[in-house]
């Protein structure tokens, strides 16, 4: 599925009109219409605005729309992603790589970041699990508190939770992230 069609699918699944999405993303409604019909391409800034308005992320929109061949292994019951495979792109304050091909009820990601400032809060419908593979990370869950995680630590929070994370010591960190999609999304 192409990016514009995927954005349309996400928008409709959330019950938004094109005009409502344009308002939420602070983009023009004619531009979004062209994008959904495959007649325009968004900048990374525009894609970030759209993703936020849809409660998603750039990497998820890109991954969901990527024409990635899925190896035939037992009628789709097995998905193998090799080291150099998997859609990659900006996610939060770093870079992420999706670790599964095709649609799945969960999205496992490898994340590398070095952002030293908290940045804006994110929220999305999916539950999220983080495991620190390397480094030290501060995770701020707004009303739920702030947590310092080190290599080997994990945290889980429900969809709809305001969250952000950044390097606790100014160094690069690596996370294994799993976003659990809600039934029907």
pTM summary value: 0.70
d(CA 77, CA 66): 19
pLDDT for the residue 76:
60
Q: Please state which of the four CATH numbers 3.40.50.261, 1.10.260.40, 3.60.120.10, 3.40.50.300 is assigned to the domain occupying 3-65.
A: 1.10.260.40
Please tell me which residue, 95 or 103, carries the higher pLDDT value: 95
Q: In this prediction, what percent of the chain has a pLDDT beyond 90?
A: 41
76-87 residue pLDDT tens: 677 788 887 877
| CATH fold of 88-180 | Jelly Rolls (2.60.120)
Q: For residues 128 and 112, is the Cβ–Cβ distance under 8 A?
A: no
Structure confidence at residue 183 (pLDDT): 58
Whole-number pLDDT of residue 66: 56
Mean pLDDT over each residue of the chain, to the nearest integer: 84
Q: If you average pLDDT over residues 18-44, what whole number do you get?
A: 90
Give the start-to-end residue ranges of the domains of the chain. Answer: 3-65, 88-180
For residue 177, pLDDT beyond 50: yes
User: What own/partner pairs with CB < 8 Å and gap ≥ 24 does 36-39 have?
Assistant: 36/4, 36/5, 36/7, 36/8, 36/11, 37/4, 38/2, 38/4, 38/5
Q: Of the ranges 8-17, 43-52, 109-118, 157-166, which one carries the lowest mean pLDDT score?
A: 43-52
pLDDT per residue over 97-119, tens digit each? 888 877 677 889 899 998 899 88
Query: Is the per-residue pLDDT at 64 higher than 70?
Result: no
User: Is residue 1 pLDDT above 60, yes or no?
Assistant: no
**What is the pLDDT at residue 22?**
95
């Amino acid at each position: 599925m192409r990016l514009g069609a995927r954005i349309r699918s996400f928008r409709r699944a959330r019950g938004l009109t094109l005009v409502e999405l344009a308002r939420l993303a602070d983009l023009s409604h004619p531009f979004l219409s062209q994008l959904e019909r495959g007649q325009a391409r968004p900048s990374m800034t525009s894609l970030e605005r759209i993703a936020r308005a849809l409660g998603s992320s750039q990497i998820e929109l890109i991954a969901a729309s990527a024409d990635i061949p899925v190896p035939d292994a037992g009628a789709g019951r097995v998905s193998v992603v090799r080291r150099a495979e998997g859609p990659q792109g900006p996610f939060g304050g770093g870079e992420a790589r999706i670790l599964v091909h095709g649609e799945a009820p969960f999205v496992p990601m490898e994340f590398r970041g070095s952002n030293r400032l908290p940045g804006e809060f994110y929220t999305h419908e999916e539950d999220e699990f983080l495991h620190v593979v390397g480094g030290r990370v501060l995770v701020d869950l707004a009303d739920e508190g702030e947590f310092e995680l080190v290599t080997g630590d994990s945290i889980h929070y429900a969809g709809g939770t305001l969250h952000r994370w950044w390097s606790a010591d100014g160094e690069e960190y690596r996370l294994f992230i799993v976003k659990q999609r809600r039934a029907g999304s």
